[in-house]
Amino acid sequence: MYPKYIFMKTWWRALAWAGLMWVAYAGSATAESVSWAPANWDRELKLPEAHDHNPDPKIVEIELTARVADVEVNTRQTVRAWTYDGGIPGPLIRARVGDRVIVHFTNELPVATTIHWHGLRVPNASDGTPVAQRAVAPGERFDYEFDALDAGTFWYHPHVNGDVQVESGLYGAVIVRGGIDPAAAADRVVVLDDIKLEATGKLSDATTPLDVMLGRQGNVLLANGTPGGAIDVASATRERWRFVNAANGRYFNLSLPGHTFLVIGWDGGLLEAPYRAGTLLIAPGERYDVLVEFSDAPGTTIALQTLHYDRGHHIPDPGPLDLFSIHVGAPGDPPAALPARWGAFEPIATATTTMTRHVVLSEEEQGVDEPRFLINGMQYPAVPAIESTPGATEIWEIQNDSEMDHPFHLHGMFFQVLDIGGVAPAQRGWKDTVNIPQHATLRFAVHYGTAGRWLYHCHILEHAERGMMGVLELR
């Protein structure tokens, strides 16, 4: 029996300190027990790529299978996981703007599943949610078909029992190219995640109260499925890094000591103007594209790190945690000049908007079992659907009444953030997932897309699966 909600703050803080300090320091003990390989065992962190078996240059047609597999997380250790095509992450899917994408999906898992194409503007029937399609049962096939409408960095994952299935290894990245493409010595996709390994090396399937409240926190950090990996870069060059946060609940607050990130893109593609950032906070579900310049001397080794971010409930600071190492080699070709123009951004006209939607996020503990996560005081599926029409423009006002941040994701379309706490953002670009700080209110404008039933929810997956989710119905 848990204490009543009036005592929850103290109880959760004590649990957070005990549990999160274990997460912070268990890595070394767990690493020893499963015999981690040397840091350079997988030096380039390359993702496997999906094979396009259609000869038409304007059609990307692939086979994708969800199945149980033993996945190597270093040279001496494997974990039993749920995978796309046998790997974590699944294969990288590449397309160009205007391509027709056809994914022949086969489910060989012991449970039903779907694929949600996070950030891609797809027909509702291909959105991969329980309100848009019937889940694909074990042994069944389903074809996802859509046009690649936007250049950018996207990802795919299940939307059935998402907290369990994504944590088990089901996710992958999608890159759509087109338009302005800044010159870079390398264009890398970096999918960030964490997993919880038991002392035996087994992928933990236990869900603790702390996992539910904060979102599952792993004790092993992964970049492209690899802990402690490394890449080689040439000195005096520029690289493009595309980040995807596929973690259930971990926020990655990225830092590259001695360097800054030139942020060129958000969820919806290139920004109208890039900006520099010393650290880069990426909430679950978000994507960021950055340029990094390396003026370091050959032979230098640096590490991409994630720093502590106070997202609520007094999560303790474990100090900087390394994600992967960067080894600087001999000078390469000097970087070409940056583009004079970047992404196109036409602000959404809100002067004639007549409708503002008010959405309140909150959390609640009932005295027994686990906490609930609510939208307007209701728990999905009891949350009343928001009804509107394709082509309408509306403002959403998201009020976070809880004591922790929530990343808010809207399916099927992009939106423009208007202000946070009444303050307009310094940059303008398109988002489909945005972090809403604790006890803050954020407003965004959205021009509705195609008809259908589209989900919106917190992208801490434990929260979404326990009630912080709703439906936008366009008809």
Q: Do domains 59-177 and 187-331 have the same CATH topology?
A: yes
- Which residue, among 156, 180, 183, has the nearest Cα to 170 in the 3D structure? 156
Q: Is the pLDDT of residue 181 over 90?
A: yes
Per the CB < 8 A criterion, the answer to whether 465 and 373 are in contact is no
Residue 106 β-bridge partners: 65, 141
Structure tokens of 468? Answer: 């912080």
Q: Is the pLDDT of residue 43 over 80?
A: no
End-to-end CA distance of the chain: 45
Per-residue pLDDT tens digits for 100-148: 999 999 999 999 999 999 999 999 999 999 999 999 999 999 999 999 9
User: φ, ψ for residue 414 (rounded to 5)?
Assistant: -100, 160
Q: Is the pLDDT of residue 212 over 50?
A: yes
Provide the pLDDT for residue 163: 96
The CATH number assigned to the domain with range 187-331 reads 2.60.40.420
Q: What is the pTM of this model?
A: 0.92
Provide the pLDDT for residue 313: 86
Provide the pLDDT for residue 369: 67
Q: Is the pLDDT of residue 39 over 70?
A: no
Per-residue pLDDT tens digits for 233-292: 999 999 999 999 999 999 999 999 999 999 999 999 999 999 999 999 999 999 999 999
Per-residue pLDDT tens digits for 364-388: 876 556 789 999 999 999 999 999 9
Provide the pLDDT for residue 41: 46
- As a whole number of angstroms, the distance between CA 365 and CA 68 comes to 35
Structure tokens of 97? Answer: 């703007």
Mean pLDDT value across residues 397-418: 97
Residue 288 β-bridge partners: 243
Mean pLDDT value across residues 155-172: 97
Per the CB < 8 A criterion, the answer to whether 155 and 113 are in contact is no
| Domain coordinates in residue numbering, the chain | 59-177, 187-331, 356-474
Provide the pLDDT for residue 366: 63
- As a whole number of angstroms, the distance between CA 123 and CA 239 comes to 34
Average pLDDT across the chain, whole number: 90
Mean pLDDT value across residues 28-53: 61
Q: Is the pLDDT of residue 22 over 90?
A: no
Within a 10 A sphere around the Cβ of 212, how many other Cβ atoms? 21
Which CATH superfamily includes the segment(s) 59-177?
Cupredoxins -  blue copper proteins (2.60.40.420)
Per-residue pLDDT tens digits for 333-354: 999 999 999 998 999 998 887 7
Q: Which CATH class is domain 356-474?
A: mainly beta
Q: Among 23-27, 160-164, 175-179, 321-325, which stretch is predicted with the lowest mean pLDDT?
A: 23-27
